[in-house]
Amino acid sequence: IDLETRIREILDAHRGQEGSLLPILHDVQEAYGYVPEAALPIIAADLQITKAEAHGVMTFYHDFREKPAGRKVLKLCRAESCKSMGADALAAEVQAKLGLDWHETSADGAVTLEPIFCLGLCACGPAAMVDGKLVGRATAEALVAKVKA
């Protein structure tokens, strides 16, 4: 089905719900893997807010992507336990090796880098996740090898 029809289905599913913008954006991202730009005016008109307001909410919460993610998504834990195990240094090394900042996708579409706050693997920090699979005691070399594999 086309984008507008799908967005309207999502809007209808949240009809009458208070504060529905966030759940709507989450549903759109689940359906497409990101929030397509063309979806925003449809959502904004329906909720009677401006497109700028919808966009502002979307960018305030870093959960939402404006572009499709890379073929692999690498998440690095940024929470306390992992920080005490060297997560900051790991992040800096991974960012340098991949040439990516947070929320960026490599130009070849291979990988998207995202921060995450606690993966529940605190005992084996620094922790990471590659395409939904946990990686404990992560090193930059191992992570880069995984995303390039």
**Binding residues vs ligand FES (CB under 6 A):** 77, 79-82, 118-122, 125, 127
Give the C-alpha distances (Å, rounded to integers) separating 103 from 16, 33, 62, 94, 141.
Answer: 32, 14, 8, 13, 20
Which is nearer to ligand FES, 37 or 80 (by Cβ)?
80
How near is the Cβ of 138 to ligand FES at its closest, in Å?
A: 10
Which is nearer to ligand FES, 36 or 125 (by Cβ)?
125
Contact 28, 68 (CB under 8 A): no
Nearest to 28 by CA among 52, 58, 51: 58
**Contact partners, residue 51, CB within 8 Å, separation at least 6:** 40, 41, 44
How near is the Cβ of 77 to ligand FES at its closest, in Å?
A: 3
How near is the Cβ of 60 to ligand FES at its closest, in Å?
A: 24
Which is nearer to ligand FES, 122 or 144 (by Cβ)?
122
How near is the Cβ of 9 to ligand FES at its closest, in Å?
A: 36
Cis amide linkage into residue 68, ω under 30° from 0: no
Which is nearer to ligand FES, 82 or 91 (by Cβ)?
82
